[in-house]
Amino acid sequence: KQEVTQIPAALSVPEGENLVLNCSFTDSAIYNLQWFRQDPGKGLTSLLLIQSSQREQTSGRLNASLDKSSGRSTLYIAASQPGDSATYLCAGPPWGAGNKLTFGGGTRVLVKP
């Protein structure tokens, strides 16, 4: 069974600093890897999706990498802003079980002005 781990559980940085969020998964035969953002009391918003054949995806200040061999994905947020404060979650289904999505516990980010 796929297990997804996110460390650290919480992170506090001053505004302008780059953010690095980590996601580890146990089954390297991953189908794709998604990063989500969740604001308090809200649903999840998809940020980036990396297919297994890709090594990274970029959207604006966000860049996500995928290293299947080491079972890791990293989300980089450049020049953080207070509006980036949220919980970030990763999720990935393994091959053959693409319909069963396992989420990491999330990293709660606080960007201080």
Nearest CA-CA partner of 86 in 16, 35, 51? 35
Choose, by CB under 8 A, the member of 11, 24, 101, 108 that binds other proteins.
101
Choose, by CB under 8 A, the member of 3, 17, 42, 112 that binds other proteins.
42
Nearest CA-CA partner of 50 in 34, 72, 67? 34
Question: How far apart, in Å, are the Cα atoms of 101 and each of 6, 34, 37, 69, 80?
Answer: 15, 10, 16, 20, 28
CB of 44 to other proteins, least distance (A): 4
CB of 83 to other proteins, least distance (A): 19
Question: Does 104 contact other proteins by CB under 8 A?
Answer: yes
Give 30-82 as a 3 state SS string. ECEEEEEEECCCCCEEEEEEEECCCCEEEECCEEEEEECCCCEEEEEECCCCH
CB of 9 to other proteins, least distance (A): 10
Question: Does 11 contact other proteins by CB under 8 A?
Answer: no
Question: Does 57 contact other proteins by CB under 8 A?
Answer: no
* Beta carbon nearer to other proteins, 77 or 89: 89
Question: Applying CB under 8 A, which residues contact other proteins?
Answer: 31-32, 34, 36, 41-46, 49, 51, 89, 91, 93, 98-106
